[in-house]
């Protein structure tokens, strides 16, 4: 495209729900990126006012510097680890996200992984498909009633998982967070503890932290060794929070009983990922937030994108104003 569009240009890295597109209709020119790489995107940024990115690709400083009209980056989802927040802030570019949009979807997925692991459902499904009816005698599950749930990250999603497990199973909740969560403590009798204590006490550990330098590799060989041999690990946050090689080794050695993962250090996860060969692991392809309801809600990041472009304050700003 040559020349300046009469409407602001909003670039989408991937397709979004029609509800989000409806917000842009008549107010912006919608453009789709030809790929997720910097080389694919950079040439088309000259007149772009807003970018909406999902889980794929990265918004880097060079890309932002190549977009002189860029005012806002919208993250279709919660985590903003694929956006250079510091660079955006320095350049005066607003970053917005949808922190409440997928809470229920991800929390339900985490709970589903817990149940499927505890009841060995996926192993049973595979056995039945192989004609192994007698697998029912060896695939002995366990009940989650009265378990201790360890929540690493007591924010919106972590708190919702805790609430579900407490009311469904009577789970006792311990949590680890950099800040106290008094509402969680008051509502569920949750106890705030350090990570080591949580890992030692929990029957199920569920991870709900953003990917930051402090959380990268948070759960490694040392931490896995602190867990009970009967414990389950659930990760629906970010793949790099867990040392996947250490997790695979812990599962092979029987140091923990099972793991349910929806996120991976490398995405798309390769077919020969070391966890793929382990029956104690249930793996899903970063789909926890992919419900009709959550996809619709996340697509409405377009409302904040247009708010910024039109000179209004967004509802969910993920970076501070430029100093």
Token representation of residue 236: 């629906």
With beta carbons less than 8 A apart as the criterion, state whether 145 and 121 touch: no
Report d(CA 170, CA 117) in Å as an integer.
18
Catalytic-labelled residue, pool 54, 208, 238, 273: 238
DSSP secondary structure letters along 103-118: HHHHHHHHHHHHHHHH
Catalytic-labelled residue, pool 65, 267, 293, 310: 267
Q: What does the longest C-alpha to C-alpha distance in the chain come to?
A: 70
Catalytic-labelled residue, pool 75, 76, 160, 286: 286
Task: Verify whether residue 166 is a known catalytic residue.
Answer: no
Q: Can you say how many angstroms the Cα of residue 260 is from the centroid of all Cα atoms in its chain?
A: 13
Q: Which residues fall within 8 angstroms of residue 231, CB to CB, at 6 or more apart?
A: 202, 203, 204, 205, 256, 257
Report d(CA 9, CA 50) in Å as an integer.
7
Task: Verify whether residue 286 is a known catalytic residue.
Answer: yes
Segments of the chain assigned E as strands: 9-12, 29-32, 48-53, 72-75, 94-96, 148-152, 172-176, 191-192, 204-207, 232-235, 258-261, 281-283
Q: Which residues fall within 8 angstroms of residue 223, CB to CB, at 6 or more apart?
A: 195, 196, 199
Beta partners for residue 18, in sequence order: none
As annotated, the active-site residues are: 238, 267, 286
């Amino acid at each position: 495209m040559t020349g300046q569009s009469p409407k602001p240009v909003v670039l989408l890295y991937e397709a979004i729900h029609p509800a989000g597109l409806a917000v842009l209709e008549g107010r912006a020119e919608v453009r789709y990126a030809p790929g997720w790489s910097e080389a694919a995107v950079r040439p088309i940024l000259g007149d772009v006012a807003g970018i909406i990115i999902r889980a794929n690709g990265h918004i880097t400083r060079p890309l932002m510097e190549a977009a002189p009209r860029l005012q806002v980056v919208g993250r279709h989802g919660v985590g903003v680890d694929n956006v250079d927040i510091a660079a955006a802030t320095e350049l005066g570019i607003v970053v917005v996200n949808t922190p409440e949009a997928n809470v229920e979807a991800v929390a339900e997925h985490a709970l589903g992984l817990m149940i499927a692991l505890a009841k060995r459902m996926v192993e049973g499904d595979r056995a039945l498909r192989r004609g192994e009816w007698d697998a029912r005698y060896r695939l002995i599950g366990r009940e989650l009633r009265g378990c201790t749930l360890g929540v690493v990250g007591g924010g919106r999603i972590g708190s919702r998982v805790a609430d579900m497990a407490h009311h469904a199973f009577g789970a006792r909740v311990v949590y680890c967070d950099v800040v106290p969560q008094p509402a969680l403590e008051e509502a569920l009798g949750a106890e705030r503890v350090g990570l080591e204590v949580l890992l030692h006490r929990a029957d199920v550990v569920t991870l709900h932290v953003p990917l930051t330098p402090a959380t990268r590799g948070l759960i490694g060989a040392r931490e896995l060794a602190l867990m009970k041999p009967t414990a389950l690990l659930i990760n629906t946050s970010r793949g790099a929070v867990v040392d996947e090689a250490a997790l695979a080794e812990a599962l092979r050695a029987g140091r923990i009983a099972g793991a349910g993962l929806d996120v991976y250090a490398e995405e798309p996860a390769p077919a020969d990922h070391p966890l793929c060969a382990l029956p104690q692991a249930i793996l899903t392809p970063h789909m926890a937030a992919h419900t009709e309801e959550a996809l619709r809600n996340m697509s409405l990041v377009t409302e904040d994108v247009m708010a910024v472009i039109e000179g209004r304050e967004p509802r969910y700003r993920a970076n501070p104003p430029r100093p």
